[in-house]
Structures are given as structure tokens and as C-alpha cells.
A and B are shown apart, each in its own frame.
Chain A
Amino acid sequence: MRRLLICLALVVTVALAQPEASLQESGAVHLDDAAALTLPNTAIEFMNSGYGFKTLYKIGDSFALKLLNLTASADVSLYSIHLGHPGAELFRNELINPDESGSASFRPGPLPRGEYILLAKDTKQSSVLAQLPLLVQDELTMNSPENLTAGQILNVGLVRAGNPTNHAVGCLLLPERDYNKINVTIAESLIINKGNLSADIGGITSEQVMQILPLFPENCAIAMESEATSPSNLSLITEKGWERGDYMLLGASYSPQSISLAQKVVEIQ
């Protein structure tokens, strides 16, 4: 249940794909996968560092990390991590050399499901070129209407690949404007911030769930199922008085094997 809340908190911050991200002054990093999602408002504390975003891939997807403006070879390491727990295991390490234009690519190929951090260092200056958190997940397909009249129920179908027999699912609907104001920090506990409001979740009790509710505006809804099968159908309750406009619909699935996230925009009319 705690992981499901973490999922929900994570998806609070899922944003549309940002395939290009400049991370360091010494160069730039291109993620060669426009289908990836990023989490720009999420910080993951790992090895005493804060990572500002998280990128998600589906199992079987490949991606390439392209480093630009290199003056020397780059040492690229891929660490396997576990959210909320310290420590990491080196999953893959590779030395890549730039071509004449100073660019080099790292192609790890399809990765097993899990959470990773990709570190790229300049071997000459030992400076960090890229720090890239990755989540490789079972694909989670989220089906819902593109628009809805305020006051109706939003029915959401969640289909997770991998045929999980028993998993928890949840979804969250909130105004896009508020979605952009919420920040999440994942460390030993989960810290959610919005303006002056903050909730630190160390476990799951009714009281702790109550803690995060004030972070959300009234025109927001949560639905969940503890022991779901795939496909599962959740229902979000909206009210006639809700402000019209674009809302972010975020979905999460958790099983002991993995978490999966999905998001889309729904217009409330």
C-alpha cells in the first residue's frame, strides 16, 4: 500500500515527454526516445544527491543516451536502485569515445523492469556529464474518455502488461495547474510539497492518507483498488461545480515485482 501511494505521488509529477535535457555546462544530453515520460517535479535522493527528474520506459523499449560536446571519452555506469532504500548495484558500465564532432552514444538495450540511475562522467576531468534516473516498467495502458462533463463519473480502465494476478491500482485526477505546483521528494520517506503545505509519509495508515488530502484542491479525485486484476476499472467522482479546463489523469499499478505509471490529459467541460 505504501508503494501504491508512492506510485500515486510519483504520477502526480509525470509530465509530457521532454526528450532533450541539458544537464551540465560541459555538454548536453539527448535521450533518443520521444516516447519517454519524465517527472520534472520529482527529486530522488540517492547517494547524497538529489535527482531532479525521473524518466520512464516500458519493458522492451530501447533508448540511447547521446552525449554532446565531449572533449574526452565518457565513463557511463548504470546503477540498479530501489526507491526509498539506500544503496545501489552496478548494473552496467561502459567507456564510450566521442566521434569527430564530439558526440557519443550509450545504448544499453532493453532493460529488465526496475529502477536505475544512469551516471556519465568525463574521464578527463572526472566531471559528471549526466545523472539520469530511469524507471523501466510493465506497460500500463489507461483508457478513459478524452473529455467529461463536470458532475459525471470518469471511468478509467487500467490494463497492465505482464498479467499481474494481484496488484494494487490507483488513479488521480487533478487540475493541470495544481499538478504543476506539486513537488515530490523520494528518500527514506516520501515528502510531498505544495506551497507551504507538506506531507511526510513514512508508512500507510488512515491518518497518513489523510495527511496528503489537504495538498489537493477540492476539484480533485482519487480512486483505488487494493487487490485488482488486470484489466481493472476505476471510477473517479467529479462534481458539477468543478472548474472547467484541462485536468491531468494519472494512473499507477503496483505489485511486489514492479510499479507502472501512466498519464493523460482529460478536459472537464
Chain B
Amino acid sequence: MTSINRTLSMLLLALLALALACTWATAFEASVKDGSVTIIGKASPDESMRFAASFHMQLPVEAGQYQYETRISVPQKPNRFTVKVQNVQDLNAGVKMGIWLTKRFEASRGVATLSKADVPPGSYNLKIFGLALAGRSTVPVDVRVETEVKADSNGDYKLTIDTTGIPRGEYNIQGAGQTKTINVGQEAPSPASSQGGIIDWLGSLF
């Protein structure tokens, strides 16, 4: 019995040590400076680490419409960019790639989602707009970007995400089995004017 207990204790200690080692190996630190979030961590040599950064904002509804304009920095491939809006009839997402290219998404039960993988990295002007559901005064928007970073031969990795101008608030970073929340951003978007059409809200999502 004693022998079994000793074995079990050793096994538990080994598991605990392994868990601590894994925690140490995958922990990351996130810091905010000069309009960007820098993620630094340690992983296994040459390991690929996936990270997702997301934030939530509420857009005001005016004359039945919601709208937001910003400039996005899409990180390196592989990546995925997702915008989810609620309380809406539709979502129009316009990206300026030399010319304005707009794609419309019909909402289902008040929810419309744009999700695009492997977007060419770079900075783009983005406009999202559409019709809100009748009687709704705000449109909740969730924005999420996913990307991947590869550790070097020592297991070190570093990922920088441009956050210049994102609405002030909480910015969630998920990766390596952890979620960290940091406060970043500038002033929240101001309401649209009543001129009709897209209003020049400036800022950046990422």
C-alpha cells in the first residue's frame, strides 16, 4: 500500500511538474505601447501559435441605420477576420482596394456575420453599415481577428497587432490556452451625422 501511495505521489508530482512546465512554455505576455499590442511568449521550438484578438462595441442607430468607418491592419497569413453584428436587417462591408468593393450579407434572425480567411495582409479602409431592426437604438458589433505566429528555434515568439484608434475599451487576446484582457484604444466612435450615407468616422479596428 505504501509502495502504491509512494508511486501515486511521485506520479502526481510528475504530472504537476509537467503541467507547470507546460504553463511556463505557453504563457505569453501582452503589453500596449504606441498604438499596438505586443505579445511575447515561449513555446516549443518552431511551434506555431494561434492568437485571436477581439473587441466589442455598440454602434448607435440613426434614422434606422448603423454605420462605422475605420482603417484595419490585417496581420500576416494565415489569418481570419470576422465581424458579427446584431439587431440588424443586413450588413454591408466595404473595403477600399483601389476602388470600393462592397459585399452585402442578409441577416438571419437579426444577426449578420462576415468572416473571411486569408485576407491579404495590409491596411485597408473598411466601412460597415446597414439597416437596423425596427425599434433598435444600438447595434452590438463583435470584431475578431485571428492570426498565427511561429516560434523560433529557441521557442521564442513575438506578435505585434496594430490597435491604433480602436474604440477605447477592453481588448481580449486568446492564445496558448489563455485569455487576457487589456485596455486599449481611443475615444469611442461618435454618432453618425444625419447627412445620409457613410460618415467619416476615423479610427482603426486593429
Q: A: which residues have CB within 8 A of B?
A: 151-153, 206, 210, 213-214, 216-218, 220-229, 232-239
Contacts and interface: CB of A to CB of B under 8 A. Distances in A.
A153 B99 contact: no
Contacts of B105: 225
A223 B97 CA distance: 13
8 nearest CB pairs, A to B: A152-B197, A237-B100, A223-B102, A225-B104, A153-B197, A221-B100, A220-B99, A237-B94
Contacts of B94: 223, 235, 237
B161 interface: no
Interface of B: 90, 92, 94, 96-106, 118, 120, 127, 129, 195-198
B98 A216 contact: yes
Contacts, number: 72
Contact of A235 (B98, B102, B106): B102
Given A214-B98, A237-B94, A224 B104 contact: yes
A152 B97 CA distance: 18
A234 B97 contact: no
B109 to A, nearest CB: 16
A221 B92 contact: no
19 contacts: A152-B195, A152-B198, A153-B197, A216-B98, A217-B99, A220-B100, A222-B101, A223-B101, A223-B103, A224-B102, A228-B104, A232-B104, A233-B104, A234-B104, A235-B92, A235-B129, A237-B94, A237-B102, A237-B127
B103 A221 contact: no
A214 B102 CA distance: 16
Contacts of B195: 152
Contact of A218 (B98, B101, B198): B98
Contacts of B103: 223-226
